[in-house]
Structure formats: C-alpha cells, structure tokens
C-alpha cells in the first residue's frame, strides 16, 4: 500500500541517522550511574549545563543594550534557527556555515525550509578560524551548485570548538556580508559560558561600531536559555534583529512554537533578580572552568590534546594520533570502540562536518566531577592498553610484512600521519615533553 | 524612508514577503480594535468587549483549586522543587512518559471510554497551531490540497498553507441545512479539484465545528470516513473542542467511528490541544495523534520545533492523571458552558436575533442577515464595522471564516464574566432597536410613504 506521505516525511533531512544521535541512543540503553550502573555509558554527547541547577541571569552577558521590541520568543533555539531561515531563505538558497558545526543545523535550517547549507571549510592548521579565502571558496561552491547565497550563519561561541570568535573574524564576516549583500545570523546560545580569556565579543557589539548602516538590517542573533542556564526542557529561545520586517514575520511564525506562559512567568521572575543572576553567571563560569580544566588535563595525561578553548560546555579533542588511517572510516571505527568498548558517548567530528578526520567533541558539563573522573580513567586505560601493546606489536612487526593489511586496535598508533598534527595548533597540557617522547616512539617504527 | 523599508523587505524570503500569514483578515482587525480600546467594567466601561476570541475562562477556579491542593505538581514550590533539575533538563522529544499517558487517558475519558489512545502515538507540538502545521508537513507537499468544509477557522489559512505551500479547497456549507457538510458536497468539491488537476491529499474536519459550535453526527462522520477510504485520502480531524460539548447530541469522535467503519487507520489523524477544553492556551499544549507509525515518527522529529515546556508537561501529567479532578472538571465545565450559552441565546432571541442551534464550542453562530442592507459580503463588512465601532463588540464576520452566505457572525461567550455578558447584551439590545428603526425608515423611504 503506497504510503501517502510528504517528501519531507520520507526523506532523511531530519539528520537523525547521524552518529551524533546514535551515540545518545546507545547511552539511553545503558546509562552510567555511579551507584547502580558504574559500567554504563557516560553521557558526553549532550551539551547541557549540568553543573548548576539553580540560577537566574540576564538574557545576555555582553556589552550592548538590547531593545525589547526587537526580540521574538520561540520554543527553543531549534525553533528560532528554523524560523529565521524561513524568514530569510527558501529552496534554491544557501546558507554558508563554518565547519565544524552543530549537527542539528542540518535539520533545523534545511529540513522544512528547503534551504541548503554550504560549508565554509576551516582547518586545524590555524585553530579552525574563518579565513577570507574559505569564505570566498564557499561562496563560489554555492554558485557552482546554482544556489543563491542568502547569508552566513555562525555560532559564537562555537559549537563544537568551544572557542569565541576573534574580533578579526567578526570584522571579516561583516565586510563579507556587506560585499555580498547577504545576512549574518549569529547563534549566541553559549554566550554566557565564556569562562576564560579572551573576553567574549558578540556580533551585536561589532555591529554597533560598524559604520555602514545598511548592514544593521542584515544581522540577526539567535539565543536560548538552554545552555547558559541549563534549562533545555523549558524551550526558551529568541531571535533578535534590527530588521523590523524580520521581527514582524518571525513574530507571526512564532505562533508555531511559543514559549509556555507558565515558563515565561517563572523565568521573568527569576531573571529580574539581578543579584542572583550576577552571582549565577559568575559561579557558573567558575565551575565550567574547573570542569574544563579537569577534562583537558586528564586527557593530556592520557596523551590526548584538545583545541585551546575558553567557552562552551565541551572540548574539541584531537585523537588523530589514535586513528588507524587518516580517514573518516578510521574515525568511525575509533568512535565505535569508544562508545561500545570504552563506553563513553562522544561525538565524532564527521557528524559536525569537520573536514579533517580524528577530532571529537567531548562534553564536560553534563556530569558530576566523579563521573568525569571515571570517564578520564577509562580513556587513559584505553590509551595505556594501546601503549602497553605497542612494544609487543613493535617486535612482531619487525618480523612480519608491514603490508599485511591486517588492522587491529593496538596497531593503530603506528600508522599516524602526524606530520601535520601540531602545525599552527595550540596544545594544552602540563608536560610538553610528553609529545616529544610520543613522537620518538612512533617514528621508531 | 519607504524605499529603505522596501529594501529591508526585499532581502527576505518569499514566505516572509507574502500574505500567507493571513493577518490582514477582518478576523484579526477586530482583535486589534479590542487591543486599542479594551473593555473594563470600572476602568474602561465604554471599551470594546472581546467576543472574537474563543477562550474558555469559565472554569479557572477549578484548576486553581487543584493547583493549590497539589503543590508537588509544580516545580516552583518547596514540595515540588526536588524535581526541578530532572524536569528542567528533560528535552526528549518523546515527551515525559507520564505526560503522554495522562493525555492519552484524558482523551479517552473525554470520549466517554468509547475509544482508547496509545501514549506512544501521542506527539507534542506547539499548540494546535504547531500540530496542524506539522501534521500537514508530514502528509503533503507544496501544491497538494486538502478539502475543508466552510465556514472554517480563519487561521487554517496560515497554519495549513503558509509555510507548507499546501492549498485549502473550501467545501461551502450553508444555512439551507444548518451548515451540515454532506457527502454530496464533499464529492462535488473533490471532483472539481481533480478535474482542475489538483492533487487532493485529504480532508480536514473540525469536530466540534469552529465557528458553528455544533458536533458532527455519527452518520456524517461515517460517510466522510468511507469517502476518504475509497479515494485513499487522509482524514484529519481537529477535535480541539471535544470536551466543550455542553448539550446533546454527545460528542462522536473519529476514533469511535473508525472502529465501526471500514477504513485505513494509516490515513486517520487527530489534532488536539488543551487550549480550549481546559482553558490553558498559554501553555501551548498541542497534540498530534496519528494511527500511522511513520507519521508519528516524522511528526515527533518535527516536534523539536515546538516542544511543550517540560515544566508544563510535568504539571499537566499530574493534573490529568487525577481521575477525580478530571471527572469533576469535565462535568462542571460543560454545565457552565451550557448555562452561559443559554443566557446569551435567550437574550438575543428577545431581540429577534437567532443563532444556529449549537451544542458545543465556546461561541455561537449568529444570524444577522435581516440587518444587512443587502445580502452581500460588502454589506456584511459594513454591518461589522458598525458593530465594532459603534456597538463596541468585537465579533467575527462570517466572511473571515470563508462563509459563502453573508450575514452570519461568530460570537464568543466563554471569555468573560457574568457582568460583561449583561453589558454586551444591553449593547446589542440598543443596537438592534436602532437598527430596526433605521431599516424601517429605509423601507418606508423606498416605498415612497412619508414616515
């Protein structure tokens, strides 16, 4: 019997077949708990602010003033992002997004709107920063695909990188959107999670100092209370724009996903307690910083480095040296081991459209300190077992044909294309000597 | 200034630039008139009385009492705050299991046990507005069409069509048979659409009807369900007013009819909400209930765009599981709606104004054809402007519901207190006697007889 559903119902644009979501499903089948399931999978794939449950704060913690008539409330940032794209783009149009990016964008921005995403490829060689060249290449790629570019969408602070955008990048973006006469949407959902320097520069701050007035109507901000305050269940999102047509249209569209008045009432009371919100933001950042440091140093002790980051609820972790080959297949292989054997749900870089294999996003704020320590012990044990097996494999490989083609977990470490590993990237960790000794051992094969 | 404004608009999508949002309808103009000059018994006794908003405000005291007696249902009380963390973190688009179970049970209770609902087929959405749109996104592609009996709820034009690109084809009903939709009318509309090469995907019924305030008969539902089965069309039933039935005949849901009529369950879907039955429009609790697993799966993914706040899910799960409360509420709410309806209809009858005999909903369908200068939509709009401006009642003109017959108006009765009801009736009385005088003068003038 032919099923009479829409193309949208039958297609995969919802993006839920991504490993990003499979990891969650595995977690749900076997979740870690300190007491009743210490061998369960630890949730590191969800970017929740688990560190604080009691809070109040201001809508943004940055240095610009916002006009309340220019905000539209929506049911979460998911709804806000979809709504803004419905306002700006349609089938045949493209939105440029720097990679790696939040996997949910594939659904939120494309599925029902019909718009397309064209990636702006960012590389580890410069810490994944946006370059003028990458912007132009993305624009060209869209044109090659007969897509009309309607705007650029950034996440600042970045998910999954955990970094704040530099002033230089923001200026570059402004120049670009003026040149191309397109929009800029800045998803600032993590704006309250900047826990160390450099200080956060929001898009609106840069815009307010921008001379060319026409750009004011082309810059829009998306926000939510889900990350900064850890209230994802309450579905509180917002669109902010100086463009009154966008605000008028988005307001009409918000009927499809309004915020529950019960929740609005509660939060307006919470947020108007300025003393509390100030204290909350500062305490939250302290706890994020501590948890972040725990993860980074724990990983470092296991021979794993991270992109230097100062915001967000996650780290962008470099596990390229653990890949059996510099391929996305190897990345998936490693990811499966980590989810099923090591029992950590982390997100593979490919699900975030990263152009380089071997990067993973690990969330640190959705668990207790104890759970984080367990996670780190598991990773360390895993890497140590690799190192422990290394000597035996080394002697075996001296006697056997190197092109046997047989892959095993323990032999991965010997086929690392590490020549580009450190180029231009800042590594975090207490003992730089570790890297050198690690290099030496691998190069000895 | 205008050029700059146009330029701002040009950089938007065509959906953003078109009028598909439908807010230029007089349905909304009346609301705007009210917003500018709202009635208040003491602070603004000459203001516009809102009779264009279908809200159920008659039974809030029952809900307030329940909330006071159940502090653990709220995560903002000392008794309930222990659940705050779990609830605030919960963003799973399946929804809280206890919420879905409670909704399923409530829906079964409203249907007097004649149908049962599976919690795994309950999908949340951002109010019925979100539910309608999402369901259509799952069922149809741009250019496809749904048949809908008119008069129908004006916002369907936005909810069903705006962002989906789907079309609505009205099936006009009229006063000759009390606006009952017939199989013959449906078949005729379907045939015309097919001949015009329109891809008809389904039928949308609102039962009980908005704006008519009547329930569809079992016979009508059966014949229409068979029709959709025969033509392989979706049957979408918006049952948002299912618990507002205050007089016989009792409510018959499509879920009941399905059990006794040959049909394909994969083609049957219900839209529901707690906005009207419980009077909680602010909580944005929309529900899609589909018998089609694929639709459930797809709609659930789409529900990410309009999930119900977990805080509200938690409260309502508790409230709707309280069988004693639910029984009491449903009975009392019906009783109060019946009483209020009766007061209005009797009051209007005394002024020679008749209404369609209704048994459900939060409004009645008022017949003012005898007050029109001529039987045209222009004359209806002229009368409507007088009612808004001079009588200061926001009622909704039939044309905004795509009614083909001029002179009918939808009047909401459940969103005001008893005092405001009397003020409204008094204004109508004055208006009618003035209008009758004017009509008499006009008639004598036309006949050339001196007054």
* pLDDT tens digits along A183-224: 999 999 998 899 999 988 889 888 877 766 778 899 999 988
Question: From residue A426, how far is each of A126, A162, A193, B14 by CA, in Å?
Answer: 9, 14, 21, 45
Residues A118 and A215 in one domain: yes
Q: What percent of chain B has pLDDT over 90?
A: 85
Q: Is there a catalytic annotation at residue B240?
A: yes
Nearest to A301 by CA among A204, A360, A187, A379: A379
Last residue of a domain, one of A232, A248, A275: A275
Helix (H) or strand (E) holding A205: helix A203-208
Decide if B380 contacts B398 (C-beta within 8 A).
yes
- Domain annotation covers residue A283: no
Instruction: Quote the minimal CA–CA distance from A247 to chain B in Å.
Output: 10
Decide if B151 contacts B211 (C-beta within 8 A).
yes
CA pair distance A41, B293, nearest whole angstrom: 29
Q: Would an 8 Å CB–CB cutoff place B97 in contact with chain A?
A: no
Nearest to A75 by CA among B20, B278, B300, B310: B310
Question: From residue A207, how far is each of A63, A176, A220, B5, B330 by CA, in Å?
Answer: 12, 13, 10, 20, 54
Listed in order, strand segments (DSSP E) in B156-305 are 167-172, 200-206, 234-238, 268-273, 285-290
Q: Would an 8 Å CB–CB cutoff place A224 in contact with chain B?
A: no
| HSE toward the beta carbon, residue B389, CA cutoff 13 A | 6
Q: Do B283 and A261 touch (CB under 8 A)?
A: yes
Decide if A342 contacts A360 (C-beta within 8 A).
no
Q: At what angle do helices B377-386 and B26-36 cross, to 10 degrees?
A: 10
Mean pLDDT for A301-312 is 95
CA pair distance B75, B315, nearest whole angstrom: 8
Residue A114 vs residue A50, higher pLDDT: A114
- Domain annotation covers residue A426: yes
CATH at A112: 3.40.640.10
Q: Is A94 helix (H, G, I), strand (E, B) or coil?
A: strand
pLDDT of residue A14: 60
> With a CB-CB cutoff of 8 Å, which residues 295-334 of chain B face chain A?
295, 298, 301-302, 304-312, 315
In terms of DSSP bridges, do strands A219-224 and A237-241 run parallel, antiparallel, or are they unpaired?
antiparallel
Residues A299 and A190 in one domain: no
Residue A41 CA from chain centroid, whole number? 21
pLDDT digits (tens, 9 = 90+) for A14-37: 655 555 555 555 555 555 555 555
**Neighbour order of strands in the sheet with B145-150:** B122-126, B285-290, B268-273, B234-238, B200-206, B145-150, B167-172
Last residue of a domain, one of A244, A275, A306: A275
The counts of H helices and E strands in chain A are 13, 13
Decide if B310 contacts A260 (C-beta within 8 A).
no
Helix (H) or strand (E) holding B311: helix B310-321
Decide if B291 contacts B269 (C-beta within 8 A).
yes
Nearest to B145 by CA among B208, B200, B94, B101: B200
Instruction: Quote the minimal CA–CA distance from B304 to chain A in Å.
Output: 7
Mean pLDDT for A226-252 is 88
CATH at A321: 3.90.1150.10
pLDDT of residue A37: 58
Q: Would an 8 Å CB–CB cutoff place B240 in contact with chain A?
A: no
Q: Would an 8 Å CB–CB cutoff place A442 in contact with chain B?
A: no
Q: Is B389 helix (H, G, I), strand (E, B) or coil?
A: helix
In terms of DSSP bridges, do strands B167-172 and B145-150 run parallel, antiparallel, or are they unpaired?
parallel
User: B-chain residues within 8 Å CB-CB of A226?
Assistant: 91
Residues A335 and A193 in one domain: no
Annotated catalytic residue, options B29, B157, B238, B277: B238
pLDDT of residue A413: 29
Q: Do B140 and A235 touch (CB under 8 A)?
A: no
Q: Do A235 and B308 touch (CB under 8 A)?
A: yes
Decide if A5 contacts B138 (C-beta within 8 A).
yes
Q: Do A233 and B310 touch (CB under 8 A)?
A: yes
Annotated catalytic residue, options A102, A139, A223, A240: A102
Is pLDDT above 80 for B7? no
Residues A207 and A112 in one domain: yes
Is pLDDT above 50 for A394? no
Residues A248 and A100 in one domain: yes
Q: Do A78 and B304 touch (CB under 8 A)?
A: yes
Mean pLDDT for B359-366 is 97
B29 pLDDT tier (thresholds 50, 70, 90): confident
Phi, psi of A273 (to 5 degrees): -85, 90
pLDDT digits (tens, 9 = 90+) for B146-169: 999 999 999 999 999 999 999 999
If one counts the domains in chain A, the total is 2
Residues A248 and A330 in one domain: no
pLDDT of residue A419: 32
Q: Do B138 and A3 touch (CB under 8 A)?
A: no
pLDDT of residue A411: 30
pLDDT digits (tens, 9 = 90+) for B288-314: 999 999 999 999 999 999 999 999 999
- Out of A7, A256, A258, name the one closest to residue B141 (CB): A7
Decide if A6 contacts A309 (C-beta within 8 A).
no
Mean pLDDT for B254-279 is 96
Last residue of a domain, one of A251, A275, A299: A275
- Domain annotation covers residue A44: yes
Residues A226 and A312 in one domain: no
B11 pLDDT tier (thresholds 50, 70, 90): confident
CA pair distance B244, B275, nearest whole angstrom: 11
Helix (H) or strand (E) holding A238: strand A237-241
Q: Is there a catalytic annotation at residue B152?
A: no
Least trusted range by pLDDT, from A26-35, A47-56, A110-119: A47-56
Q: Do B16 and A258 touch (CB under 8 A)?
A: no
- Out of A183, A234, A245, name the one closest to residue B310 (CB): A234
Q: Helical H runs in A272-418?
A: 274-301, 328-336, 369-399
Residues A66 and A108 in one domain: yes
Least trusted range by pLDDT, from A61-75, A357-371, A372-386: A61-75
pLDDT digits (tens, 9 = 90+) for B108-143: 999 999 999 999 999 999 999 999 999 999 999 999
Q: Do A246 and B294 touch (CB under 8 A)?
A: no
Mean pLDDT for B373-381 is 95
A171 pLDDT tier (thresholds 50, 70, 90): very high
In degrees, rounded to 5, the angle at the alpha carbon of residue B263 between the alpha carbons of residues B258 and B267 is 95
Neighbouring residues of A166: CB distance < 8 A, sequence distance ≥ 6: A129, A198, A201
- Domain annotation covers residue A280: no
Residues A379 and A319 in one domain: yes
- Domain annotation covers residue A284: no
User: B-chain residues within 8 Å CB-CB of A89?
Assistant: 13
Neighbouring residues of B426: CB distance < 8 A, sequence distance ≥ 6: none
Mean pLDDT of all residues belonging to chain A: 78
**Closest alpha carbon within chain B to A182:** B11
CA pair distance B375, A340, nearest whole angstrom: 74
Q: Which domain holds residue A350?
A: 289-444
User: B-chain residues within 8 Å CB-CB of A48?
Assistant: 89
- Domain annotation covers residue A90: yes
Tokens at B429, concatenated: 């009385």
Q: Is B42 helix (H, G, I), strand (E, B) or coil?
A: coil
- Domain annotation covers residue A373: yes
Residues A341 and A265 in one domain: no
- CA R_g for chain A: 23
Nearest to A277 by CA among A59, A57, A60, A55: A57
Q: Do A4 and B21 touch (CB under 8 A)?
A: no
Q: Is B283 helix (H, G, I), strand (E, B) or coil?
A: helix
Q: Would an 8 Å CB–CB cutoff place B278 in contact with chain A?
A: no
For chains A and B, count residue pairs whose Cβ atoms are closer than 8 Å.
182
Residues A107 and A192 in one domain: yes
Residues A269 and A376 in one domain: no
Residue A3 vs residue B336, higher pLDDT: B336
Interface test with A, best of B230, B305, B312, B314 (most A CBs within 10 A): B305
Tokens at B439, concatenated: 């009509």
Q: Do A244 and B8 touch (CB under 8 A)?
A: yes
User: B-chain residues within 8 Å CB-CB of A260?
Assistant: 282-284, 308-309, 311-312
Q: Do B16 and A4 touch (CB under 8 A)?
A: no
Phi, psi of B144 (to 5 degrees): -70, 165
Q: Would an 8 Å CB–CB cutoff place B32 in contact with chain A?
A: no
Q: What is the ipTM of this complex?
A: 0.90
- Domain annotation covers residue A262: yes
């Amino acid at each position: 019997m032919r099923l009479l559903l829409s193309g949208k119902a039958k297609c995969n644009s919802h993006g839920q077949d991504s490993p990003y979501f499979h990891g969650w499903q595995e977690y749900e089948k076997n979740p870690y708990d300190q007491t009743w399931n210490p061998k369960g999978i630890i949730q590191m794939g969800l970017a929740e602010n688990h560190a604080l449950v009691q809070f109040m704060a201001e809508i943004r913690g940055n240095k610009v003033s916002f006009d309340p008539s220019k905000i539209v409330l929506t049911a979460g940032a998911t709804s806000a992002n979809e709504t803004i794209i419905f306002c700006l783009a349609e089938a045949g149009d493209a939105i440029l997004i720097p990679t790696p990016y939040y996997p949910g964008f594939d659904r939120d921005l494309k599925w029902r709107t019909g718009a397309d995403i064209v990636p702006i490829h960012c590389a580890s060689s410069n810490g994944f920063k946006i370059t003028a060249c990458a912007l132009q290449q993305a624009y060209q790629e869209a044109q090659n695909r007969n897509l009309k570019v309607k705007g650029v969408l950034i996440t600042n602070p970045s998910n999954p990188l955990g970094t704040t955008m530099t002033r230089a990048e923001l200026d570059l973006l402004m120049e670009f959107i003026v040149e191309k006469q397109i929009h800029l949407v800045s998803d600032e959902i993590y704006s309250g999670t900047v826990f160390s320097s450099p200080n956060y520069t929001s898009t609106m701050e840069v815009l307010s100092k921008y001379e060319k007035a026409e750009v004011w109507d082309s810059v829009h901000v998306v926000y939510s209370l889900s990350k900064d305050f850890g209230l994802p269940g309450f579905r509180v999102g917002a669109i902010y724009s100086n463009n009154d047509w966008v605000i008028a249209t988005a307001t009409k569209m918000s009927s499809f996903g309004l915020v529950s008045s019960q929740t609005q009432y509660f939060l307006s009371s919470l947020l108007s307690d300025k003393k509390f919100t100030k204290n909350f933001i500062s305490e939250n950042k302290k706890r994020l910083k501590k948890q972040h440091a725990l993860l980074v140093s724990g990983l470092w002790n296991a021979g794993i480095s991270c992109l230097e980051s100062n915001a967000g609820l996650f780290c962008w972790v470099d596990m390229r040296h653990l890949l059996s080959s510099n391929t996305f297949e190897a990345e998936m292989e490693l990811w499966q081991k980590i989810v099923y054997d090591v029992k950590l749900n982390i997100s593979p870089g490919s699900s975030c459209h990263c152009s380089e294999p071997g990067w993973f996003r690990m969330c640190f704020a959705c668990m207790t300190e104890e759970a984080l320590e367990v996670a780190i012990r598991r990773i360390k044990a895993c890497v140590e077992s690799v190192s422990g097996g290394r000597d035996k494999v080394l002697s075996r490989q001296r006697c056997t044909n190197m092109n046997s083609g047989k892959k095993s977990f323990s032999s991965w470490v010997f086929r690392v294309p590490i020549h580009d590993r450190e180029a231009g990237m800042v590594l975090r960790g207490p003992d730089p000597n570790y890297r050198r000794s690690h290099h030496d051992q691998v190069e000895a094969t | 200034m205008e050029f700059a404004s146009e330029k701002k608009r040009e950089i938007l999508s065509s959906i953003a630039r078109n009028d598909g949002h439908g807010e230029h309808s007089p349905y909304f103009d009346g609301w705007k008139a009210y917003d500018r000059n709202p009635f208040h018994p003491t602070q603004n006794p000459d203001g516009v009385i809102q009779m264009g908003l279908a809200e159920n405000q008659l039974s809030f005291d029952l809900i307030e009492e329940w909330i006071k007696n159940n502090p653990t249902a709220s995560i903002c009380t000392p008794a309930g705050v222990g659940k705050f963390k779990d609830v605030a973190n919960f963003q799973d688009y399946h929804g809280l299991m206890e919420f879905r179970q409670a909704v399923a049970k409530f829906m079964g209770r409203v249907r007097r046990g004649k149908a049962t609902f599976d919690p795994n087929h309950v999908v949340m959405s951002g109010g019925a507005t979100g539910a309608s749109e999402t369901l259509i996104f799952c069922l149809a592609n741009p250019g496809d069409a749904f048949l809908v009996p008119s008069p129908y709820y004006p916002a369907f034009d936005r909810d069903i069509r705006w962002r989906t690109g789907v079309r609505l084809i009205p099936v006009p009903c009229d006063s000759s048979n009390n606006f009952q939709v017939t199989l013959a009318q449906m078949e005729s509309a379907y045939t015309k659409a097919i001949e015009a090469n329109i891809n008809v995907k389904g039928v949308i019924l609102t039962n009980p009807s908005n704006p008519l305030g009547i329930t569809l008969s079992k016979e009508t539902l059966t014949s229409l369900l068979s029709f959709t089965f025969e033509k392989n069309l979706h049957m979408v039933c918006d049952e948002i007013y299912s618990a507002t039935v205050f007089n016989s005949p009792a409510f018959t849901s499509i879920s009941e009819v399905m059990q006794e009529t040959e049909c394909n369950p994969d083609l049957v879907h219900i839209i529901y909400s707690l906005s009207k039955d419980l009077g909680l429009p602010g909580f944005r609790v929309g529900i899609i209930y589909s018998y089609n697993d694929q639709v459930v799966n797809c709609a659930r993914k789409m529900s990410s765009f309009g999930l119900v706040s977990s805080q509200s899910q938690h409260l309502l799960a508790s409230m709707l599981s309280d069988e004693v409360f639910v029984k009491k509420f449903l009975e009392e709410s019906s009783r109060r709606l019946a009483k209020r309806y009766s007061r209005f209809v009797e009051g209007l009858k005394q002024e020679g104004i008749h209404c369609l005999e209704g048994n459900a909903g939060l409004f009645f369908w008022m017949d003012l054809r005898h007050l029109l200068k001529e039987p045209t939509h222009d004359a209806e709009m002229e009368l409507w402007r007088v009612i808004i401006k001079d009588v200061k009642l926001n009622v909704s003109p039939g044309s905004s519901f795509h009614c083909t017959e001029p002179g009918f108006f939808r009047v909401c009765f459940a969103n005001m207190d008893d005092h405001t009801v009397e003020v409204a009736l008094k204004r109508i009385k004055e208006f009618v006697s003035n209008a009758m005088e004017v009509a008499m003068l006009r008639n004598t003038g036309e006949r050339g007889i001196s007054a």
